[in-house]
């Protein structure tokens, strides 16, 4: 009861903070971005390279758990199918987690970035194995469903919104092409002259400000709460993992504003998407039972 009471108290408080942040940005988005803008910030550049890593590592853990749960006694096609599929998910997320870094930290050799991606993936698998070694099969099965939803849901929703919304980024407004576009508040979706702007040389990516993909991905670090809940070793520290994931999200969100990639409402909306999926996934698959299974 204590766990449910604290969990239930956190949810409305966080959603209230989201509403306050969206309201603040609705009035002062541009002013806040001008005040914080520093496109040469090294910490912000590093956050751009590794801010999304929790989402890739969550995919790695999902792939690992698919392999781990494959039953040798099951039909060969089912067993090897799960092992192969889990392995492809694991390797693919590890590869793209490293490869994606090169897009933002251009000085890093691609081989090193991909190698680091696989290194982080190994650490994620070792952590999952250690944390869940005493967890029941029922708890791991329940956890896997929740993690898959958190790994895929927010990213899909964010990109479904991002492309048609076509909000110009702050860095575009302060660039040499800034005179071609104007600031658009988040509640005015779409650009009538989007095709014309792209044809004139504005990169498509500079018209994808709302919501923030990096923040969406960073917020999947909240899933550590569910992993800890399923772990007899970490159960008592589950809220430490939750607030650790929340702190990571806030730092990445701040870095996206500093570097001129997003506005306050962009990162707030992105966090709202992931947090909503986090809550819905927990309710849908009865995450409270992870503590007793």
Using CB atoms within 10 Å of the CB of residue 293, give its burial: 0 to 12 exposed, 13 to 18 middle, 19+ buried. middle
* pLDDT tens, position by position, 239-293: 999 999 999 999 999 999 999 999 999 999 999 999 999 999 999 999 988 988 7
Closest Cα to residue 202, out of 190, 213, 193?
Answer: 193
Distance between CA 57 and CA 143 in Å, rounded? 15
Q: How many whole angstroms separate alpha carbon 121 and alpha carbon 107?
A: 22
The DSSP secondary structure of 137-167, one letter per residue, reads HHHHHHHHHHHHHHHHHHHHHHHHHHHHH-P
> What is the average pLDDT value for the chain, to the nearest integer?
92
Under a CB-based contact definition with an 8 Å cutoff, are residues 21 and 269 in contact? no
| Rounded Cα–Cα distance for residues 151 and 274 (Å) | 9
What is the per-residue pLDDT across 60-70, written as a single tens digit (0 to 9) for each?
999 999 998 88
Which pLDDT score, from 0 to 100, does residue 2 have?
46
């Amino acid at each position: 009861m204590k766990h449910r009471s604290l969990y239930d108290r956190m949810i409305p408080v966080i959603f209230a903070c989201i509403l306050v942040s969206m309201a603040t940005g609705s009035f002062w988005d541009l002013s806040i971005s001008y005040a914080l803008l520093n496109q040469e910030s090294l910490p912000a550049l590093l956050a751009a390279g590794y801010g999304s890593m929790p989402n890739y590592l969550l995919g790695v853990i999902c792939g690992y758990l698919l392999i781990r749960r494959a039953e040798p006694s099951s039909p060969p096609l089912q067993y090897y199918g799960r092992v192969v599929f889990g392995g492809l998910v694991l390797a693919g997320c590890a590869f793209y987690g490293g490869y994606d870094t090169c897009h933002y930290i251009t000085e890093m050799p691609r081989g090193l970035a991909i190698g680091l991606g696989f290194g982080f993936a190994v650490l994620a698998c070792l952590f999952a194995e250690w944390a869940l070694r005493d967890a029941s099969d029922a708890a791991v099965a329940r956890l896997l469903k929740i993690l898959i939803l958190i790994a895929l849901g927010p990213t899909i929703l964010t990109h479904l919104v991002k492309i048609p919304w076509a909000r110009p980024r702050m860095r575009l407004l302060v660039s040499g092409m800034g005179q071609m576009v104007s600031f658009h508040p988040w509640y005015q979706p779409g650009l009538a002259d989007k095709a014309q702007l792209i044809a004139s040389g504005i990169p498509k990516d500079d018209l994808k400000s709302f919501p923030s993909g990096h923040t969406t991905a960073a917020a999947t670090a909240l899933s550590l709460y569910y992993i800890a809940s399923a772990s007899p070793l970490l159960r008592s520290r589950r809220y430490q993992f939750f607030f650790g994931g929340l702190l990571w999200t806030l730092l990445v969100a701040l870095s996206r504003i500093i570097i001129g990639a997003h506005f306050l409402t962009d990162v707030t909306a992105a966090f709202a998407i992931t947090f909503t999926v986090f809550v819905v996934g927990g309710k849908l698959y009865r995450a409270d039972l992870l503590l007793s299974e």
